[in-house]
């Protein structure tokens, strides 16, 4: 099953001929704040699934052209991300500290957007913003200290994820947490539909030029061990997102580009890149006055 959020917080299922609205079936109020309805759908998915399937079998579908897809999860408890998790990416970044040594970091949940939005480049003249093509794991069942052997029982499904990054030496969380810097979608494809995710292809194009092309078999820390490692520190909650790291081929994106990501059996989406006018600050531009005092 392919779950989506669309048209202002509605919950739907991607079917052959479009999107079937299941918002009433899963009892989500599209106007709710905070927008956590999908988290409850994920938490209760096994119970809700028969009713969702019945709706998909009987209700008409909205043509995809009339569905504005949003990030399938808007307010996760956390977005966990693994750094250097493919050896070839470590080589291109000239680093020798891999995810199995460094562990994970977090990205701001407010950086999430969906496939019908645009990546907004901050106004940071001279700074390079890169695309990173990643498989996202969507946690379905809460757990702490999950054993690698049990990890897949905690996975609801998978999605495509773009981990957009300002290159530099500043704090990584800040460089990766700008609004629009975590593109998630086009849907959550449930694990039963993806099947074995341990050797699937992920690829990325910028303006139809191939930039990244790899397989999950080349992950340094594999999917079960990423879940085990993260949950050794933090309770994983339904709807948590794990960005699994990017293979080699990262590179700059600029105003007017279109970034396309495709992951085998998971999905495909394209998003435009726009130059924004926000985002300058004294960390990235020391010529700006510091707010209260100079650094020591």
Q: Please, what is the minimum distance in Å from the beta carbon of residue 250 to Mn ion?
A: 8
Q: Tell me how far, at minimum, the Cβ of 20 lies from Mn ion, in Å.
A: 33
66-95 positions binding Mn ion, by CB under 5 A: none
Residues 79 and 108: beta-carbon distance below 8 Å:
yes
Measured from the CB atom, the residue of 70 and 246 that comes closer to Mn ion is 246
Identity of the residue, 244 or 260, whose beta carbon is nearer to Mn ion in the bound complex = 244
Rule CB under 5 A: is residue 163 a binding residue for Mn ion? yes
Nearest to 153 by CA among 81, 228, 79, 216: 228
Using the rule CB under 5 A, which residue among 117, 120, 132, 240 binds Mn ion? Answer: 132
Structure tokens at 166: 């300002």
Strands 112-113 and 241-243 come out as unpaired
Give the interface segment with Mn ion, choosing from 85-93, 127-135, 262-270, 282-290 (CB under 5 A).
127-135
The pairing of beta strand 258-263 with beta strand 112-113 = unpaired
- Closest residue to bound Mn ion by CB: 163
Task: Find residue 158's DSSP bridge partners.
Answer: 137, 189
How many residues bind Mn ion (CB under 5 A)? The answer is: 3
Nearer to Mn ion, 117 or 134 (CB): 134
Specify the residue, 246 or 260, whose C-beta has the smaller distance to Mn ion. 246
For residues 238 to 277, the per-residue mask of contacts with Mn ion, x marking binding by CB under 5 A and - elsewhere, is: --------x-------------------------------
Residues 6+ apart with CB under 8 A from 133: 162, 202, 203, 204, 211, 212, 214, 246, 247, 249, 261
What whole-number distance in Å separates Cα of residue 224 and Cα of residue 196?
12
Interface contacts to Mn ion, rule CB under 5 A: 132, 163, 246
């Amino acid at each position: 099953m392919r779950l989506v959020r669309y048209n202002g917080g509605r919950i739907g299922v991607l079917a052959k001929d479009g999107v079937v609205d299941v918002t009433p079936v899963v009892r989500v109020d599209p106007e709710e704040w905070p927008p956590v309805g999908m988290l409850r759908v994920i938490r209760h998915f096994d119970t809700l699934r028969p009713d969702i399937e019945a709706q998909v079998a009987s209700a008409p579908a909205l043509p995809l052209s009339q569905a504005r897809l949003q990030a399938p999860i808007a307010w996760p408890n956390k977005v966990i991300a693994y750094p250097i998790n493919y050896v070839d990416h470590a080589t291109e970044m000239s680093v020798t500290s891999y995810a199995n040594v460094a562990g994970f970091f977090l990205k701001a949940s407010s950086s999430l957007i969906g496939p019908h939005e645009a990546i907004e480049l901050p106004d940071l003249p001279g700074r390079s913003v890169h695309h990173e093509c990643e498989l996202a794991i969507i946690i379905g069942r809460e757990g702490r200290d999950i054993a690698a052997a049990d990890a897949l029982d905690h996975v609801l499904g998978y999605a495509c994820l773009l981990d957009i990054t300002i290159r530099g030496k500043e704090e990584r969380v800040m460089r990766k947490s700008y609004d629009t810097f975590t593109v998630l979608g086009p849907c959550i494809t449930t694990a039963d539909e993806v099947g074995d995710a341990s050797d699937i292809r992920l690829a990325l194009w910028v303006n139809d030029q191939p930039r990244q092309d790899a397989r999950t078999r080349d992950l340094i820390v594999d999917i079960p061990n990423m879940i085990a490692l993260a949950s050794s520190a933090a309770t994983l909650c339904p709807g948590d997102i794990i960005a699994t790291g990017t293979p080699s081929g990262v590179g700059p994106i600029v105003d007017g580009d279109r970034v396309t990501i495709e992951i085998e059996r998971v999905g495909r989406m394209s998003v435009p890149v726009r130059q924004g006018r926000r985002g300058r600050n004294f960390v990235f531009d020391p010529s700006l006055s510091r707010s209260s005092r100079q650094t020591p």
